[in-house]
Chains A and B, each alone.
Chain A
Amino acid sequence: MSDLATILRARRRVLANAVMALRHESRLKTAFIAVFALAFWAALFEAFREGFLFISQVQGFETFLIAIVFALFFLSLLVMLVFSNAVLFYSSLYNSRETNFLLTLPISEESLFAYKLIETLMYSSWAFLYLGVPIILAYGYTSGVPWYFYPAALVMFVVFVAIPASIGSLLAILFVNFVPRSRLRVFLAVLAAAFLLTVLAAIKYASAFSASPSFAISDISRITGKLAFSQNPWLPSLWLSKAILSLGHSRPSRALFYLLVILSNSIFFASIAAATSRRLFWRSFSKSHSSAARYLRSRHKVLSRAIHRLFFFLPREIRIFLTKDLKTFLRDPSQWSQVLIFFGVLAIYIANIRSLPYNLGMKHARSTISLLNLAATSLVLSTFTGRFIFPLVSLEGKKFWVLGLAPVKRKQILYGKFFFAFFGSLLISEALILLSNYILEFPLSMVVCHAVLVLAICAGLSAISVGLGARYPNLKEDNAAKIVAGFGGTLNLIVSMLYIAVMMVTVALPYHTTLAQFAAGAPGQQHYKILGAYLALSLALGTLTSVFFLSIGWAKFERLEF
């Protein structure tokens, strides 16, 4: 395993050099990211602290409820970590040039597997620590724990993350082995559908207790009974939860017992994954590198024709770029499957609003839920414009000779990306918001207000991502995830969230408040005047934001050297 040590030494040097390179980055940029990360972390800490303080007031049930909170929190993280590790391990082992390079060196396959597992574990564990540490600190702060609680909890986290990393890597190896490459799209679609059905089942299940007209202490046992799945003794998340709570209750020997359970299982799962890799690595690696050519000639024509007819009002050049970006999106399962899952979850949630207790006496509950739906749809949309639209200009970097030599204005390339983002997001978001309005049985005036607001939000978010993507491009990088992780991507996320906040505070919230005053009677002329004013305001804000961000993107893009 000396080869493993050598690779890890090189990776440490890579990390050290990357940290050193930060010194040459803009201080403003580094400070900006650090402040935002700290603020998010502090907000998380405060939310957990408030939560624990609230629970501590439920006399006689606080220990029980905290156990439920921990078990659910760690179970959620466990599920997310398993999937993220599977994806990370797949990209790192089967879809990276580094693997090809290392395989030509005298390095054993065992060392390669161990290295990739460690790399995956490191990537995922920082996220686990980032999200997990605030809950630990908040719990310690509100519960008065012994001094050794904090370092011991950290050790437990580190040992725990090996379990999802090993399971995730195992899943990735099995996936590559047993799912034919040509069926990848079908498989991902089925997976997304299965996930959505699970969410639907979970909502139906949860609604069984959420529809109660009142909430009393007596309901606690009923609710916790519904959450009993998180208390399954076979779940590693429960072992971690019990270990942390034992530490908090000054029972170190019990905590040590659970730590050893976690450790032995970490080793067990890592051994299973290593044995599977030893047996299946070459088969899976060859499969992942075999070509799976597809012939798309007829579909290519249909899609192109449809785009040109549907968007006849746009200049021809913009339609060509729009078609190109849409085809790229549709042929990349990693993109559309994520969109399908996240917006699918939102659609299922909205379709099931009726099972929520909005009509049970809470004043303005219907209005509040519709505002929350609007905010949730906009926020999910902003993560997708950030993840998929922001890197579009950067991803043209190495291929820019095609566009750079084309007899078109560069502005049209940017507009092509804007319209691709705008129409795509508009289609999904309007559908969701109209569904929400239909289910909440809002009057037409409210539906119109929401529809126009969503239009403005889609335009603004698309322009922010395209504009900032052009303003802060990373032309050397092929990996969209790495492009998004940089300064421009972070700035894009923050600006997008601020924009949503502005639209909610200046248009949506005041309109809902105003509407409440008219609730008693039929809408009159004054109501329509107010509606008109808010519609004009949302369109003005959307237009100004779009023009501003496209302009700053355009100013840089025009002078950009590739």
Chain B
Amino acid sequence: MRRLALEIKPGEIFAFLGPNGAGKTTTIKMIVGLLRPSGGSVAVCGYNMATQAISAKETLSYVPDQPYLYEKLTAREFLHFIADIYNIERDIGDVKVARMIELFELGEFADQLAENYSHGMKQRVVMAAALLHDPSVIVIDEPMVGLDPRSAKLLKNILTGKAREGACVFMSTHTLSVAEDIADRVGIIDRGDLVALGTIGELRRQARVGGRLEDVFLAITENPGV
């Protein structure tokens, strides 16, 4: 990554776009504390990710593109584990876990081992876990992969709802229609450089292209001088 300067405001949904190998995952890994930048810094809700990692992570949620679950835990057990990690009191945790199971329609398989889940089911459990502690920042990598249309719609509503409540959503995706639907601002990264940043209207002006975000994205990434 080179000279990446980004600030995402509370209540904002930010879509982070870029071709394969552009540096999206590296950026996300630095934001969530999986990698430390060799220069510069990452702050989440005012906490420096290098020096105040625990405080920063308490405000954050990360949903990776490849969901990770303990295969020998059930969804309910996994959600309780996450509640314990975030120090949510047992009574409140029980209520929140029940609410998430209902919201993401996990009831049918909440007490089965995760090893039997499909990719989409795992993705729903990870989403539920990510929202359990009411995070101020949600970082989400390819949110729609593996979700059925009903779950995808539900997720879009949840993300916009969270943003309305004041959360900041940082979303990396190749599904440009989702970015077009819900993002307040869009950043486009190419070969480690942030080549475009602004609302979709501003990007259209920058690219001198009207119409869909797909056309804007292609114009910017195929013509680096734009």
Report the Cα distance A478→B36, complex, angstroms. Answer: 28
B62-95 contacts to A, CB under 8 A, are 62, 64, 66, 68, 70, 72-74, 77, 81-82, 84-87
| A-B contacts at CB below 8 angstroms, number | 69
User: Do A104 and B54 form a contact, CB below 8 Å, given A6-B84, A10-B73?
Assistant: no
Contacts of B53 in A (CB 8 A): 106, 109
Structural contact, B72 and A104, CB atoms closer than 8 A: no
A108 within 8 A of B: yes
Structural contact, A106 and B57, CB atoms closer than 8 A: yes
Report the Cα distance A7→B81, complex, angstroms. Answer: 8
A180-194 contacts to B, CB under 8 A, are none
B interface: dominant SS: mixed
Contacts of B77 in A (CB 8 A): 10, 13, 17
Q: Looking at the complex, which one of B68, B72, B82, B87 makes contact with A18 (CB distance below 8 Å)?
A: B72
Q: How far is the CB of B114 from chain A (nearest CB, A)?
A: 10
23 A-B contacts, Cβ less than 8 Å apart?
A3-B85, A6-B81, A6-B84, A7-B85, A14-B72, A14-B73, A15-B72, A17-B72, A17-B113, A97-B66, A101-B64, A104-B32, A104-B57, A104-B62, A105-B82, A105-B85, A106-B55, A106-B57, A107-B57, A107-B85, A289-B29, A289-B35, A476-B115
As a 0/1 sequence over residues 171 to 196 of chain B, the CB contacts with chain A under 8 angstroms (1 = contact) are: 00000000000000000000000000
B33 within 8 A of A: yes
Contacts of A3 in B (CB 8 A): 85
Contacts of B62 in A (CB 8 A): 104
Report the Cα distance A103→B35, complex, angstroms. Answer: 10
Given contacts A10-B84, A106-B54, 14 further A-B contacts (CB under 8 A): A6-B81, A7-B85, A10-B77, A13-B73, A13-B77, A98-B70, A100-B68, A101-B68, A103-B32, A104-B60, A104-B62, A105-B82, A107-B54, A289-B34
Contacts of B105 in A (CB 8 A): none
A204 within 8 A of B: no
Structural contact, B36 and A282, CB atoms closer than 8 A: yes
Structural contact, B113 and A103, CB atoms closer than 8 A: no
A21 within 8 A of B: yes
B58 within 8 A of A: yes
Report the Cα distance A103→B74, complex, angstroms. Answer: 21
Q: Which residue of A lies closest to B133 (CB)?
A: A106
A447-482 contacts to B, CB under 8 A, are 476
Q: How far is the CB of B34 from chain A (nearest CB, A)?
A: 5
Q: How far is the CB of A402 from chain B (nearest CB, A)?
A: 19
Interface of A toward B, CB cutoff 8 Å: 2-3, 6-7, 9-10, 13-15, 17-18, 21, 97-98, 100-101, 103-109, 282, 286, 289, 476
Report the Cα distance A107→B85, complex, angstroms. Answer: 8
Interface of B toward A, CB cutoff 8 Å: 29, 32-36, 53-55, 57-58, 60, 62, 64, 66, 68, 70, 72-74, 77, 81-82, 84-87, 113, 115
Contacts of B87 in A (CB 8 A): 2
Of the listed residues B32, B64, B72, the one surrounded by the most CB atoms of chain A closer than 10 A to its CB is B72
Report the Cα distance A422→B72, complex, angstroms. Answer: 37
Structural contact, A9 and B33, CB atoms closer than 8 A: no
Q: Looking at the complex, which one of B68, B74, B85 makes contact with A97 (CB distance below 8 Å)?
A: B68
Report the Cα distance A18→B74, complex, angstroms. Answer: 11
Report the Cα distance A9→B85, complex, angstroms. Answer: 11
Contacts of A6 in B (CB 8 A): 81, 84-85
Contacts of A9 in B (CB 8 A): 81, 84
